């Protein structure tokens, strides 16, 4: 009884470990996010293990079935469509349920697009924050980006080719000239890294015509102390309301988070500044 989390290639089928191949051959069952992608990989390495599908929409219903298989003494390997299971992919629910049931969970590490992109991006790698996919609605996306303005760690996002230009525009508006890297089609024939401020990276991308492929977007963290000079809490609240279209209470919460101060303090500061001078 063992649940293996097996990382698989993110493009180049050679990016698989000897151990991953052995485990995939030896387990009783492979639970795959995409059975067709899994089949290609399994055929290439002559792996004959039975495969069942395990993707987002069936995660809830399939988890007890897989736990039952494990409890019956069988071993299961979870693979996602690409990269490391559980990283912006199904896996968390099954791992949590397995841990709860006392089933040993064994990682079989390998590729993950976020780490491959970060390592080769040229941005600081000592501290980073993985943010997964940004929200798809423009307002929620802007709000999310805004809330990350003071983050000092390198930021990593997964992004779609359809949205990358819109996101880069917002990154430019919110983060100014901060260094950005776009890692596209990692480990594949058209692998490329574009670097520079958001506006420049956007220009380079647009030059190529239709943007295709898979993308990791990286953004340098804030360097130096936060620059609050000339920006009072009240100014910041008004800006947040105007630029993000959020309510006053939401803006107060956001500004409190950015400044690392209690909400009540920001609320009071906002009131005092907006009060007309006495007399």
Q: Indicate whether 24 belongs to the interface with ligand SAM (CB under 6 A).
A: no
Q: Indicate whether 9 belongs to the interface with ligand SAM (CB under 6 A).
A: no
Selection from 53, 50, 15 nearest residue 35 by Cα: 53
Rama region for 145: left / alpha / beta (φ>0; ψ in -120 to 50; rest): alpha
CB atoms inside a 10 Å sphere around CB 36: 10
3-state SS, 51-65, equals EEECCHHHHHHHHHH
- Report the distance separating Cα 92 and Cα 115, nearest Å: 19
Contact with ligand SAM (CB under 6 A) among 66, 216, 220, 258: 216
Q: Report the residue number, 80 or 154, with the smaller CB distance to ligand SAM.
A: 80
Selection from 123, 173, 172, 132 nearest residue 152 by Cα: 123
Residues 64-83 that bind ligand SAM (CB under 6 A): 80, 82-83
Q: Indicate whether 32 belongs to the interface with ligand SAM (CB under 6 A).
A: no
Contact with ligand SAM (CB under 6 A) among 215, 218, 240, 256: 215
Contact with ligand SAM (CB under 6 A) among 20, 108, 114, 246: 114
Q: Indicate whether 8 belongs to the interface with ligand SAM (CB under 6 A).
A: no
Q: What residue has token string 């007309």?
A: 276
The encoded tokens of residue 189 equal 């024939």
Q: Indicate whether 87 belongs to the interface with ligand SAM (CB under 6 A).
A: yes
Q: Which helix (H) or strand (E) holds 138?
A: helix 138-147
Long-range contacts of 135-139 (CB under 8 A, 24+ apart): 136/163, 138/166, 138/170, 139/244, 139/245
Q: What dihedral do alpha carbons 159, 162, 164, 168 form, nearest 10°?
A: -140
- State the minimum distance, in angstroms, from the CB of residue 78 to ligand SAM: 11
Q: Indicate whether 5 belongs to the interface with ligand SAM (CB under 6 A).
A: no
Binding mask 132-171 for ligand SAM (x = CB under 6 A): --------------------------xxx-----------
- State the minimum distance, in angstroms, from the CB of residue 166 to ligand SAM: 15
Q: Indicate whether 205 belongs to the interface with ligand SAM (CB under 6 A).
A: no
- Report the distance separating Cα 205 and Cα 227, nearest Å: 31
- State the minimum distance, in angstroms, from the CB of residue 213 to ligand SAM: 7
Mark the segment that binds ligand SAM (CB under 6 A) among 53-61, 145-153, 184-192, 230-238. 184-192
Contact with ligand SAM (CB under 6 A) among 88, 147, 204, 232: 88
**Residue 3 in 3-state DSSP?**
strand
Contact with ligand SAM (CB under 6 A) among 3, 11, 78, 167: 11
Q: Indicate whether 31 belongs to the interface with ligand SAM (CB under 6 A).
A: no
- State the minimum distance, in angstroms, from the CB of residue 249 to ligand SAM: 33
Q: How many H-runs (helices) and E-runs (strands) does the chain carry? A: 11, 10
Residues that bind ligand SAM (CB under 6 A): 10-11, 80, 82-84, 87-89, 112-114, 158-160, 183-188, 214-216
């Amino acid at each position: 009884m063992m649940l293996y989390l097996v990382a698989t290639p993110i493009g180049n089928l050679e990016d698989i470990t000897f151990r991953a191949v052995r485990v995939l051959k030896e387990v009783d069952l492979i639970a795959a996010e995409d059975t067709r992608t899994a089949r290609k990989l399994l055929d290439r390495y002559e792996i004959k293990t039975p495969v069942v599908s395990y993707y987002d929409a069936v995660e809830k219903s399939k988890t007890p079935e897989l736990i039952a298989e494990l409890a019956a003494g069988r071993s299961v390997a979870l693979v996602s469509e690409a990269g490391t299971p559980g990283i912006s992919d199904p896996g968390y629910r099954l791992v949590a349920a397995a841990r709860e049931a006392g089933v040993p969970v064994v990682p079989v590490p390998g590729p993950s697009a976020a780490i491959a992109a970060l390592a080769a991006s040229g941005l600081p790698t000592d501290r980073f924050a993985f943010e997964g996919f940004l929200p798809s609605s423009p307002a929620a996306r802007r709000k999310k980006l805004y809330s990350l303005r003071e983050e000092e760690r390198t930021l990593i996002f997964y992004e779609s080719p359809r949205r990358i230009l819109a996101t880069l525009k917002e990154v430019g508006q919110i983060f100014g000239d901060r260094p950005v890297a776009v890692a596209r089609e990692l480990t594949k024939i058209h692998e490329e890294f574009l670097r520079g401020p958001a506006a420049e990276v956007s220009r380079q991308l647009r030059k190529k015509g239709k943007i295709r492929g898979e993308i990791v977007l990286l953004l340098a963290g804030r360097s130096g102390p936060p620059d609050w000079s000339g920006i009072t809490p009240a100014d910041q609240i008004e800006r947040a309301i105007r630029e993000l279209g959020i309510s006053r209470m939401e803006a107060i919460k956001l500004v409190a988070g950015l400044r690392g101060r209690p909400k009540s303090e920001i609320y009071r500061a906002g009131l005092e500044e907006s009060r007309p001078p006495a007399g």
